[in-house]
Amino acid sequence: MAGRSWAVRLHSGTEDRRTLDMLAHSVAQEAGLHSQGQIGQLEGYYLFCDVPEGKAEGVASAARVLATHPSVAWHSQEQLLRRAKRSMAFNDPHYPKQWHLHNEVTAGMDINVTGVWEHNITGLGVTVVVVDDGVQHTLQDIQPNYSPEGSYDLNSNDPDPMPHPDARSDNHHGTRCAGEIAAVPNNSFCAVGVAYGSRVAGIRVLDGPLTDSMEAVAFNKHYQVNDVYSCSWGPDDDGRTVDGPHPLGKAALQHGVIAGRRGFGSIFVVASGNGGQYEDDCNYDGYANSIYTVTIGAVDETGKMPFYAEKCASMLAVTFSSGDRQLRSIVTSDWSLQHGTGCTEGHTGTSAAAPLAAGMVALMLQVRPCLTWRDVQNIIVYTAKKYEDKDAEWKTNGAGFSHSHQHGFGLLNAWRLVNAAKVWESVPFLVSYQSPVLKEGKPILIAPSDLSLTWNVTASELQHSGMQTLEHVAVTVTMTHPRRGSVEIVLVCPSGMSSVIGARRSMDVDRSGYTDWTFSTGALSLGILKQWKLTLYGSSLTFEEVKERQRIVEDSMGGQYLNSSYSLPCPPGLDIPPEVFSPLTSNILKYLLFLGCVAFFGSLYYILEVVMAQLELSRLCRYRQMGRGSLEDGAELQMHPVADLEDQVPLITTDRPT
């Protein structure tokens, strides 16, 4: 059509559509053309086309008629225009190898993020902090997006989280994670981050002695600057450790979700662990089974669970990482210190999965900054994709959500997460129900027999708590057992749906059992179950409201709401004072130890002084009682009751001085 069509603007002194249509038809006929009607919604603009039998001389004649016709205000012969789709093409040399961002080998086995980028959603305005062994922020892939305001070095107690060279040259972990999140595109260097428009900070805490107070400070450090905390670490993945945050760390996680991000809550993303080859289970990791964290596992580029990946009931979702040697690992930035080159194709484990999830959360927060920590968890549940995997044991709950211990609620999908975030209304406040501590003292039987314990929660109790929808179940257990890893704990719901919340671990030969260990969301060899407690967490959302949210989320997946003009109102955040905690670093601990020694020896000296004075006083009293008089001429020992001193030296008085 181009070259044989004209865009024409008529000027007739009327806005009546019918009159304009008739005028356009008349003018087109005079020019030997055919009117195709009004151009879109542009009043007075019409498209004239050459009639099929039109010749070259007819084109020139039509142009002359249009140029001189009194009803034509403007005309232009149409030309073919060259336009290119805004597909994402970066000049970063390793971007083509970042299969987790755009998999051109196995369709669907990537995080589906390029469509999000095409809508200019890149994490702008969001800060993700990597809590790790440091971040080399001078690296050209990180420096433009580096946030010094959100960074700190708790190992050296200074503001610079630069990693320190070490004997094994392995303090590159945090830098690799930071590159996955926010590596700068189109700088002709290395690779691209999933949220390349976000800012990235670093908290160096894993390169030295670690205390509970340091961990607590890390979880809340600059929590009005940092939005998402990416934590690719945890207790030893050896199949026998039971550990997690200690009292201060637990308190900091809770404080973060309450007061972080101006009251919307810090988002804590944690890796589920790499102890799969040791039959480890992430329910024995207190960071992974906390209700305050987003627990992320790994799948390889085929969607299978890698050999190192752990499974557990508290798994929220999975995303991509490395697999067997024949499969590709994650390509990301690397440190350039020691043996580093600034880029790597070998980032592996759940350590590589968690930062991808943190980056996807940053994309969500760009389109809806007021998402709470529970909103983020819920959106993941609503949007994660169940997929076929013969090794996954999927179970569907009463609300229609599918979950497996291998993959959580499914595979994270950036497109689905961002579209759902755009239309998401905040969930109601978290409510809870807690049973009393149930003292049992019952023997744990040898398999195949088991110990079955039941606690009935009545409808009136749930109504009193305000709970309509169940989100988390926690069981806190104290028990003794000569071989802790032989015990399996299963939580069975009234519907019959069961969940292994404490899996057997062949390498766990600990004889101490569990002391107040909490299993999240849950046939037991000889021992004693001393006590247990059941805690339910949920909200006032009804079943009907949950189904309506599912409908709204699925309806949004066409991308129609990603237009920047569409926005749900966000409530204002809270004015939270800055953090006031100070870390107990190794230097501070040494100083405190020195002060403790001084105080101890000072106290010892004082006690000796008091004892010696008491002995001297007793000797004087003995002389007095024996009638031997004073020890010195003219000296007299006088003893006053303590009560008499009150009249002599009043501490608080209302009398005026005379």
Point out the residues that are catalytic: 132, 173, 351
Rounded distance between C-alpha atoms, residue 220 and residue 252, angstroms: 6
Rounded distance between C-alpha atoms, residue 383 and residue 152, angstroms: 34
Pairing of strands 228-231, 127-132: parallel
Identify whether the C-beta of residue 244 lies closer than 8 Å to the C-beta of residue 285. Answer: yes
Contacts of 652 (CB under 8 A, 6+ apart): none
| CA 106 from centre of chain | 27
Neighbours of 510 (CB within 10 A): 16
Neighbours of 28 (CB within 10 A): 23
Rounded distance between C-alpha atoms, residue 618 and residue 251, angstroms: 53
Identify whether the C-beta of residue 28 lies closer than 8 Å to the C-beta of residue 69. Answer: no
Provide the residue type at 24 as one letter. A
Neighbours of 115 (CB within 10 A): 15
DSSP 265-288: --EEEEE--S-GGGT-BGGGBTTT
The helix/strand/coil state of 347 is strand
Pairing of strands 152-153, 199-204: parallel
Query: How many Å is the Cα radius of gyration of the chain?
Result: 36
Rounded distance between C-alpha atoms, residue 380 and residue 371, angstroms: 12
DSSP annotation of 655: P
CA-closest candidate to residue 211, choices 249, 160, 266, 157: 249
Rounded distance between C-alpha atoms, residue 228 and residue 194, angstroms: 14
Rounded distance between C-alpha atoms, residue 654 and residue 176, angstroms: 69
CA-closest candidate to residue 521, choices 505, 508, 504, 537: 537
Alpha helix stretches (DSSP H) within 10-166? 17-30, 56-68, 114-118
Return the structure tokens found at 87: 């597909």
The helix/strand/coil state of 28 is helix
| CA 73 from centre of chain | 60
The helix/strand/coil state of 36 is strand
Cis omega (within 30 of 0) for bond into 448: yes
Pairing of strands 45-50, 33-38: antiparallel
